[in-house]
Structure 1
Amino acid sequence: MTQKAENLRVRRTRILLREALIALIEERSFDNLTVGELTERAMVSRAAFYRHYQDKYDLVEQIFDEAMNTLFHAIGEFGREHPTDVWVRFFEQIARYDRLYRALLGKKGSPWFAQKMRARLAELIQQHGSLEEAPEAADSKHAAQMAHPFPDTFVPDLVAAMLVEAITWWLEQGQAYTPGKMATRIAVLASAVFREAGTWS
């Protein structure tokens, strides 16, 4: 088998498993589905599944990692000079797999996934600060506050929880706003929290 044919086969397997995952979550809930049901629905062998994933959690994590990698790439590309663009990329990636995220974050989803998502987003905020637009040099005190990590996890955890709730609402409403509008509103709300937290002694 050529490398190209092998790559196509792998892509096809991943797509089939993701589609089966979504359908089974909608029918049975994430916690109740098994790898056997996934492979049977996707019409792929268990061996093929385990060549790519350790278990159903690993399957979901790899999909979410794609969204997080997109976010980290956007941070590197845009940085704090264009924070809204960073979040636009993230919401576009969520929209790409909207049915999956809607299933995972909905009533038949998994508290495990929601917690995983909050933890990863909180880690991102903790590492990169607020992603708020870099303040003017004259405001050196504010600049210093935003340049350093938060003293504890309270604010990152709070904003991460807000983000997950916002994503859940957005998907449940059928993406009532564009990724750009959601990103702008989230950036404004989060920036208000970060600025207030920056005044705390």
Structure 2
Amino acid sequence: METKPTQTETAHKSADRRIQRTRNLLQEALISLIQEKDYDDITVQDLLDRANVGRSTFYSHFLDKDELLMSGLEKLRVSFEEQHQKLGLELGLKNSERQVSLAFFKHAQSHYQVYKAVVGKRSGTMITKTFYEYLKEMFRGYLAKNESPGGVPLELVVQFQASSLMALLTWWFDNDLPYSAEQMNNWYHQLAGQFLA
């Protein structure tokens, strides 16, 4: 027998949806603004105007625009991890570096507006640095299981792979994705193989 939710439970679910809706509006506002002007030039007032929310509402969710940014990047990271697992199941691949980077390119392609804001020309130092640290963490996790090529220290390989991927992603988005995710992944490994062979 199914039990009906109480009034308190219904009100709580409704409040949760409102909170999530407000957070989504603010994150979407930030993404759209980054495509128009540099991140460092965006003010909280710009965000309020774009999202059509009040100042007290903004500050009830976030301390400042940097915290808003970090919550969006965390949401992106979780989304990537989910897509990476799904792709691994579909392709039946082991957790290889090639699979990780393919999942990354596919995720970037399917979240075009967000990645364009993150790696594009207007992203700003904080976004670039935070995203670069995430890439290094991702590669460190997958490369730690394998022996470094030619005895190169793991940290150097991590730096090389993360900076190479960041450079290719930036070029790819600045040129409006002229090639598929699969093609970019193939070239990424072809180029990396020449240096790490």
Please classify the TM superposition score into its range, dividing by the shorter chain length. Answer: 0.7 to 0.9
- 1:171 matched residue in structure 2: 173
The one of 140, 143, 165 aligned to 1:126: 140
SS at match of 1:31: helix
Indicate if the aligned counterparts of 2:44 and 2:65 stay in contact, CA closer than 8 A. Answer: yes
**Contact preservation (8 Å) 1:119, 1:157:** no
User: What residue number does 1:134 align with?
Assistant: none
Instruction: Using the TM superposition, give the Cα deviation of residue 192 of structure 1 relative to its aligned residue in structure 2, in angstroms.
Output: 4.6
- Indicate how the Cα distance of structure 1 residues 77 and 174 shifts in structure 2: closer, same or farther if over 3 A, else same: closer
Partners of 2:56 and 2:153 in 1: CA distance: 46
Hey, what's the Cα distance between the residues in 1 that align with 2:127 and 2:52? 25
- CA shift, 1:146, in A, is 4.8
Matched, 1:180 2:182: yes
Q: Which residue of structure 1 lines up, in the alignment, with residue 51 of structure 2?
A: 42
Distance in 1 of aligned mates of 2:67 and 2:161: 25
**Compared CA separation, residues 191 and 51, structure 1 to 2 (3 A):** farther
Q: Specify whether residues 15 and 156 from structure 1 end up closer, same or farther in structure 2 by C-alpha distance, changes over 3 A only.
A: same
Q: Offset of 1:193 from its aligned partner?
A: 4.0
Contact 1:39 1:45 in 2 (8 A): yes
Q: Extract unaligned runs of 5+ from structure 2.
A: 1-9
Pairs within 5 Å for 1:53-92: 53-73=62-82, 74=84, 78=88, 80-92=94-106
CA RMSD in angstroms comes to: 3.2
When the two structures are aligned, how many residues end up with a matched partner?
182
Identity in percent: 27
Q: Distance in 1 between matches of 2:50 and 2:167?
A: 30
Query: Which sits farther off after the overlay, 110-119 or 150-159?
Result: 150-159
Structure 1 residues 192 and 161, CA gap change in structure 2 (3 angstroms): same
Deviation string, structure 1 residues 39-89 (Cα, Å, up to 9, x no partner)? 222111233323433322222222222333344453698374554333333
Residue 28 (structure 2) pairs with residue 14 (structure 1)? no
Partner of 2:160: 158
Question: Where do residues 90-169 of structure 1 align in structure 2 (5 Å cutoff)?
Answer: 90-129=104-143, 145-146=147-148, 151-169=153-171
AA in 1 matched with 2:171: W
Change (3 A) 1:84 1:66: farther
Contact in 1 for aligned 2:132/2:163 (Cα 8 Å):
yes
What TM-score do you get using the length of structure 1 for normalisation?
A: 0.72
C-alpha offsets along residues 74-110 of structure 1, whole Å, 9 cap, x if unaligned?
3698374554333333223323432233234333220
| Structure 1 spans left out of the alignment, 5+ residues | 132-142, 197-201
